[in-house]
Amino acid sequence: MTTTFLRPVTGFIGKTFVITEFELRKLRHDFTELVTRALQPALWLLIFGQVFARSGAMHTGNIPYLDFIAPGILAQSVLFVAIFYGINVIWERDLGIVQKFLVSPTPRAALVLGKGFSAGFRTLSQAVIVYGLSLLLGVKLNWNPLALLNVLLIVILAATLFSTFSLIIACIVKTRERFMGVGQVLTMPLFFASNAIYPTNIMPGWLQTVSHLNPLTYVVDALRTSMLSGSPTTFGLSIDYAVILVTTGILVIIGARLYSRLAT
Amino acid sequence: MREPVLEIKSLTRRFGPFTAVDTLTLSVSAGEVFALLGANGAGKTTTIKMLTTLLPPTTGEASVAGFSITTQAVDVRRAIGYVPQAVSVDGSLTGYENLLIFAKLYDLPHREQPARIAEALEFMNLTADAKRLVAEYSGGMVRRLEIAQSTLHRPKVLFLDEPTVGLDPIARDAVWKHLIDMRTNYGTTLFFTTHYLEEAESHCDRIAIMHQGKLDALGTCKELEGSLGPGHTLNDVFVHYAGSTPDAGNSFRSVSADRATAQRMG
């Protein structure tokens, strides 16, 4: 009884990790991607961060501005890497790879979530970069192992969330040109309508409302709570996790429904 | 007559006002080598997509290996293999890895996986290149690896969409030798589309010719040639039923797809 009930579940988890494993195996053949990605968070922290920290234009309470944006920049770089992840499935569709996976008995949700997780593991390198830069800039980090584990989990989940969102866009637009257009249109609003580089309480009312509907806001809040000593939080870690997990779940279900569109 | 492994009944697919496949009815026996011929746009690929559960039919029904493509899609998927026209192995993985992932996705028992993969590599003459990245493979090797990948789980029916497009004659012969061996050793039914009439002629038990979504002719090569009277070739049959030679009527899209495939296959 229990085994018949559990089999689809364990099967689903097993298949998800098979997909993740092979996505990650591809990575060891190409490291340049990891290096070039390090540039963007470096620019944001070293230039944008330093300039705004000096001007004192941002009122971030009792947290220094550089400390305030370090988790924001980590969240941003996770978003920027993940939001263009869907281009890979368009590429795989133009070859015949997606079709081959769709003809296999693998659950669609496992194909989607497996790819999402692999994006999650890929973006962990961004966490390493941001931690390195933060050390360099004297950000007061929280080195508690549990806090570090939280950062790891949040980065993986956030990348899963936004790469799945990206995959959904890919399933709808199906061509590289349109995908790049939509991706670019979405990234900046998601970034600016969040608490990544300024606190939401300096926003006009309407934007505050938008930012509270933006999953990135909760990612930033969770990272800020876990990364910084003193654990400053707006919503609390459990609300952050709940929003991130529920949003990811909904997106995976939508993605699984749309994934077969790639075969046609 | 052997038992049918593929039974297609009034299968129809419309895209808006356009009918790509029109009330197709057809039966293929287990172990048969069956070719679907037709000019571009005749509905061959749409038919294969419906039979492989990639595309739901608008109306009609088909059963593959005893399972319905509309209500038992997962069972159908376990029973079939599919080699799409485009390149379907991953260039950034090795040949071995490309097979390993499908061994896992098709639930081959863990202990049997290494032996089955080794056997498939040996069968397709790829053992020496198993650890190389597929991006470095030649076109013929890529095709053989794709066939190895799609048959690792010993499917009852193997669907191939233009299996030899873009290959030189030697590579083409090698691919066919392996496909026929597959049928001989495992009784795999081969259902494929092609533009090359000589391939259909030399390898197929039966041929179907599609024209504008409809099945126009069906039979063995000899039967079809005979149907036009003595002295006719398969090419004459094709022109008679499909209204043109196989190469005529290519759309820009299909030509560029063919060339892109050919280019990637090296």
Examine residue A6 and state whether it is found in any structural domain, yes or no: no
> Mean pLDDT throughout A26-41?
79
> Is A5 part of a structural domain of the chain?
no
- Summarised one tens digit per residue, pLDDT across range A10-29 is 889 999 999 999 998 888 76
pTM: 0.89
Q: Is residue A213 part of a domain?
A: yes
Confidence band for B261, pLDDT divided at 50, 70 and 90: low
Order of strands, edge to edge, in the sheet holding B59-64? B18-29, B4-15, B59-64, B67-68
The mean pLDDT value for A57-61 works out to: 75
Q: Are strands B80-83 and B157-161 parallel, antiparallel or unpaired?
A: parallel
Percentage of residues in chain A having pLDDT higher than 90:
75
Chain B 100-119, residues with CB within 8 Å of chain A CB atoms: 101-102, 104-107
Minimal Cβ distance to A104: which of B77, B86, B133: B77
Pick A49 or A1 by higher pLDDT. A49
User: Does a structural domain hold residue A66?
Assistant: yes
Residue A3, in any domain of the structure: no
How large is the average pLDDT for residues B58-85?
A: 95
Distances (CA, A) of A158 to A41, A148, A162, A188, B185: 16, 15, 6, 17, 49
Supply the ipTM of this predicted assembly.
0.87
Low-confidence winner among A61-75, A93-107, B167-181 (lowest mean pLDDT): B167-181
Residue pair B94/B131 in contact (Cβ under 8 Å)? The answer is yes
Residue A7 within a domain: no
Tokens representing A40 are 């963007």
With respect to residue A124, please indicate whether it lies within any of the assigned structural domains. yes
Average pLDDT estimate for B22-31: 95
Which one, of A133, A140, A143, A159, lies nearest residue A76 by Cα? A159
Which of A7, A12, A18, A22 should one mutate to test binding to chain B, selecting the residue with the greatest count of B CBs within 10 A? A22
In this prediction, residues A216-224 reach a mean pLDDT of 97
Q: Identify whether the C-beta of residue B37 lies closer than 8 Å to the C-beta of residue B199.
A: no
Sequence-distant (6+) residues with CB within 8 A of A259 are A102, A108, A111, A112, A167, A171
- pLDDT at residue A82 greater than cutoff 60: yes
The mean per-residue pLDDT over the stretch B37-53 comes to 91
Cβ contact B266:B139 at 8 Å: yes
User: How far B230 CA sits from the closest chain A CA (Å)?
Assistant: 42
Q: What is the pLDDT of residue A192?
A: 93
Report the distance separating Cα A221 and Cα A203, nearest Å: 16
Q: What is the pLDDT of residue A15?
A: 94
Q: Which residue has the higher pLDDT, B228 or A118?
A: A118
| Domains, chain B, with CATH or none | 4-87+157-264 (3.40.50.300)
The answer as to whether A171 is a domain residue is yes
Q: How many domains does chain A have?
A: 1
A95/B104 Cβ within 8 A: no
Domain that holds residue A168: 14-263
Tokens of B221: 């090569």
Going by pLDDT thresholds of 50, 70 and 90, the confidence category of residue B30 is very high
